Chains A and B, each alone.
Chain A
């Protein structure tokens, strides 16, 4: 693809998969996001970290294009976020599993597969990838929270989207499953998928190639796990984040 060079771009190299400039979101007169800018490289796993309520989900919603924004621009794969052409190229998994509780696992996936045009082999593949094999006939409402969120994740993986936005996909999962999911995310990134994964537990930060640290609707830092350790002199990423917050507070 010929790259349209943007003179104002702060970085050289390939066009970013996601480019956010001056994003502002108001909710009920309160500024949830206030002029946030960031770029996310294609084929990477970027962790979006910060305390609950700092605007992570809102930023993700804006990238998917379901959030009403007050200002700024969000571009995904060179197109305006939410544009029609992106609907088959961007996958989105909400924090609460958005699947049909009164259908079984397979029926849920069959429905979403029909919409994105995925084959029945792909359904089986996806079920296996999220570790739900043998559960195809189970009604989603009867599954545990972690299983339900994996059905939701599987629904988003069906269409093999180029960009995956995952809002707290590992919350409430046991450590084994978490490790399993992170393995899936890395494999996807290796295959060229761009992942933006939010979390409010810092021990997942080490899994990411890049980190976006957020607080109170603003981006504190965009860095890498090693970069964060180096800057703060803390080997523990949780502590490193706290140091960063403190510094930001003083600055």
Chain B
């Protein structure tokens, strides 16, 4: 791995996105609009908006980065550029971390916008500070990116890659506790939820936006998010092959 190649890769990915202003606009505007929709839908039910809206601010970047990474990595695989990179003096880690830095920066901007809207404009409450929600949002974005990178190896077309979102992300959103507390779910659903990384991302956000003290359980949630990210990056590295059939 070299800092030089990693930095060049991050710069290249950011330049690709810069050439696509509509994507940038969508990245920044869509989460904000969705949050506003929620705000209006739950007008007069501040408690519900707080319960769903606050953690959701930190989950948007996860969903978006998963989708964007899986598509851009798929393009890299199908356009032959990945094969070219694999023939050049460049490590797999340079590609993975290059993507990580680029999408991390993008996620930071996205998180800043949605967190500002939610916690400053729409008066959501973050007992431990909105910055903590933003930090968790960035961590979740990197988690989404790592998972997207890994699953891109299993798609041959962009149609398939897009379907991975409803297939892999929606069930996690439904089961993570955002809409229904997990202890009110059927036992087997709760058991499944323990196996899903988004559950821990949500748990950390729920704790960060509640008035309870941040204890070891919060630290454990964050550790799981980081651990799964590293594992997914490792698995992603395995899918970047120098030799193919």
- 0/1 interface trace, chain A 96-114, chain B, CB 8 Å (1 if under): 1111111110010001101
Contact of B84 among A84, A98, A107, A139 (CB under 8 A): A98
| Interface check A67, CB cutoff 8 A | yes
B53, chain A: closest CB distance, angstroms:
34
Q: Are A114 and B87 touching (Cβ within 8 A)? A: no
B2-42 CB contacts (< 8 Å) to partner A: 4-5, 7-9, 11-12, 15-16, 19-20
A224, chain B: closest CB distance, angstroms:
29
Which of B111-119, B204-212, B237-245 faces chain A?
B237-245
Complex-state Cα separation, A242 to B15, whole angstroms: 49
Per DSSP, chain B at the interface is: helix
Q: Are A139 and B243 touching (Cβ within 8 A)? A: no
A101-149 CB contacts (< 8 Å) to partner B: 101-104, 107, 111-112, 114-117, 139
Q: Are A111 and B12 touching (Cβ within 8 A)? A: yes
Q: Are A66 and B88 touching (Cβ within 8 A)? A: no
A62-99 CB contacts (< 8 Å) to partner B: 64-68, 82, 84, 87-88, 90, 92, 94, 96-99
Q: Are A66 and B244 touching (Cβ within 8 A)? A: yes
B13, chain A: closest CB distance, angstroms:
10
**A98-B16 contact, Cβ under 8 Å, with A65-B243, A68-B244, A115-B8:** no
**A115-B16 contact, Cβ under 8 Å, with A66-B242, A98-B79:** no
Q: Are A103 and B19 touching (Cβ within 8 A)? A: yes
| Interface check A155, CB cutoff 8 A | yes
Q: Are A94 and B83 touching (Cβ within 8 A)? A: yes
Interface contacts (Cβ under 8 Å), in number, total 78
Q: Are B242 and A65 touching (Cβ within 8 A)? A: yes
Task: Give the nearest-CB partner of B16 in chain A.
Answer: A102
Q: Are B87 and A92 touching (Cβ within 8 A)? A: yes
Task: Give the nearest-CB partner of B90 in chain A.
Answer: A115
Contact of B87 among A90, A102, A111 (CB under 8 A): A90
Complex-state Cα separation, A64 to B87, whole angstroms: 7
**A102-B89 contact, Cβ under 8 Å, with A65-B242, A82-B243:** no
| Interface check B160, CB cutoff 8 A | no
Q: Are A102 and B20 touching (Cβ within 8 A)? A: yes
Which A residues lie within 8 Å of B80 (CB)?
A: 94, 96-98
| Interface check A11, CB cutoff 8 A | no
8 more A-B residue pairs beyond the given contacts A87-B89, A98-B81, A114-B5, with a C-beta to C-beta distance below 8 A: A67-B245, A68-B244, A68-B245, A100-B79, A103-B16, A104-B19, A112-B88, A115-B88
30 CB < 8 A contacts A-B: A27-B245, A64-B87, A66-B87, A66-B243, A67-B243, A67-B244, A68-B245, A84-B89, A87-B88, A87-B90, A88-B88, A90-B87, A92-B87, A94-B83, A98-B79, A98-B80, A100-B16, A102-B20, A103-B15, A104-B19, A111-B8, A111-B9, A114-B4, A114-B7, A114-B8, A115-B8, A115-B88, A115-B89, A117-B4, A155-B84
